[in-house]
Amino acid sequence: MIKSTYFASAEEMETTLKRYLITYNHHVIQRNLGHLTPIQSMKQWQLDKPDLFKKKVYNHAVLDT
């Protein structure tokens, strides 16, 4: 994406990369994660092994249920 896109400024590139990261982590389902998004997978992992986490995994892209 970086090599094929022209960015007018560093700020524009930073904004685009942040949006991509949110999209990837919250909306792109991964087959190797059992057809879950990375955030869904982390939340499930936290439920299964809470002693491994110091902080709660939040799903900020949408409301948690």
Task: Give the chain's domain count.
Answer: 1
CA 58/CA 2 separation, integer angstroms: 28
| pTM of the entire predicted model | 0.69
- Which residues face 48 on adjacent strands? none
Residue 57, pLDDT above cutoff 50 = yes
Residue 65 lies in a domain: no
Residue 63 lies in a domain: no
- At 58 the pLDDT is 77
Residue 48 lies in a domain: yes
Which run of H or of E encompasses 16? helix 10-27
- At 28 the pLDDT is 93
Residue 58 lies in a domain: no
Domain limits at 43? 10-52
What one-character-per-residue DSSP string does 37-54 give? -HHHHHHHHHHH-GGG-S
Residue 19 lies in a domain: yes
* Residue range 2-42, pLDDT digits in tens: 678 899 999 999 998 888 988 999 899 999 999 999 999 99
